[in-house]
Every structure is written in structure tokens, then in C-alpha cells.
Amino acid sequence: MAATREANAPNQNRRVKVYVLGSDGQWDDRGTGYVTCELISEHDALGLRVLSEHESNKELLSTKIFEEEVFQRQGDTIVTWTNPETREDVALSFQEAAGAQEVWEIICQVQGRSPLDEGGEDAAGGGGNVSDGAGSDLKLPLPDMENLQHLQDIVSNATSATRDRIVDGVMADGYLATLLSIFRDCEDLEMTYASLAPSP
């Protein structure tokens, strides 16, 4: 997909603050600048680049637009994602909602999805629905023994943006009670197997 770099004149709609989630769980402010959507040579892909508003040669962020649906829209002015290669959580806070919408539409166009889908990738299967407050749901798998590994994978790969939503889903509609019952059944099966196993 061919793309050319946008005009160098700062677009006030594209003025953003860059945040990265630190190891202490706090969002670190990396600075304020202007985001452009362009072909980034080091990634050989269309991506997002943020240059400082004070030092035009200082790069605050450079990332490709990943094919995975890791990008999420938070409200009108925030776009967040987890880099699938580094597991780094990043957020862009836009000064103007129009700028956030412009960039979001470009991200969705690259990924081949609708801009109305403001959430991340949904987990397959039915079960607990976790609303993200923007109209899309993250679906947890049905709480049964066959889906325990799938559920563990979802929890293990959760981002800062989805952890609370997963907790809400687990706590809703008796999901947790069913899960605890399955764990007890697993323990009983393990004890039964141990009692039936031949002695060494």
C-alpha cells in the first residue's frame, strides 16, 4: 500500500500527548507533539509517528499499524494499544476529538475493519460479556472444563485496557461461581486419579 508523508505544517487536530505504561503501573508522559500517518521505513509499513512540538526533529513515538486488532478507542480523544512485539502499552491523548477520529479511521482502514468498532479483538466463544463502554463487547469463553486453557490465555495476554473489563465479565451473571465449581471438580478428579493410581 503506497503512502506519502503528510504535510509538514502542524495540524492542530493531530496534537497529542504520548503516554507509556511504566513497570509501576503508572502512565508516563513522554511529551506532547503532532502525530502523522506515514510510511515508516524502519518498519517497512504504514504507521504512526509523533514529533515533539518543541523540537521538530525529536521523535516521541514511531510504530507501525499492526495487522492485529490491538488498537482501541477510549472515549472521544484517546487511542490505546499494546505493542504485540514488545508488550508495551501506549496511549495517545488527542487535543481534539476530530484528530482522534481521523487517525482511528486510518488505523481501521489499514486493518480492514469498521471505524465503528472501537474495541480490540474479541475472544471467540460465548460466555461473560464485558462492555467496553463504547458499544463493543469482549466475550469470555463459556465457563467449562474444555475452555479453561482458552480463558487462561485471555487473562495472560490481557492489556491494561482490558483487565478491568475481564474482571467485570468474570464477576457477572454467575460466571465466577461456575468457574469455582469447575475448579473444585478438577481437584476432585485429580484426587480420584491419585487414589486409583498404582503404588510405585
135-172 per-residue burial string, b: 16 or more CB within 10 A, e: under 16: ebbbbbbebeeebeebbeebeeebbebbeebbebbbee
CA distances from 125 to 96, 139, 141, 162 (A): 36, 7, 5, 17
**Residues 17 and 106 reside in one and the same domain:** yes
Q: For residues 36 and 14, what is the distance between their CA atoms, to the nearest angstrom?
A: 7
Name the residue with cell 496511549: 91
Q: In a 3-state reduction of DSSP, which class is residue 59?
A: strand
Average pLDDT over residues 187-199: 55
* Cβ atoms of residues 119 and 137 within 8 Å: yes
Residue 6 lies in a domain: no
**Dist. CA 67–CA 71, nearest whole Å:** 10
Q: At 187, which amino acid appears?
A: E
Could you give the percent of the chain with pLDDT greater than 90? 28
The pTM of this model reads 0.55
Whether 177 is covered by a domain: the verdict is: yes
* CATH classification of the domain holding 59: 2.30.29.30
Q: Across-strand partners of 139?
A: 129
Mean pLDDT in residue range 154-166 = 67
Say if 5 falls within a structural domain. no
Same domain, 19 and 95: yes
> Could you say which DSSP state residue 67 is in?
S
Instruction: Convert the pLDDT of each residue in 106-148 to its tens digit.
Output: 888 888 877 776 554 433 333 444 443 333 445 677 777 777 7
Q: Which domain holds residue 158?
A: 129-196
Residue 128: φ, ψ to 5°: -75, 125
Q: Are residues 96 and 164 in the same domain?
A: no
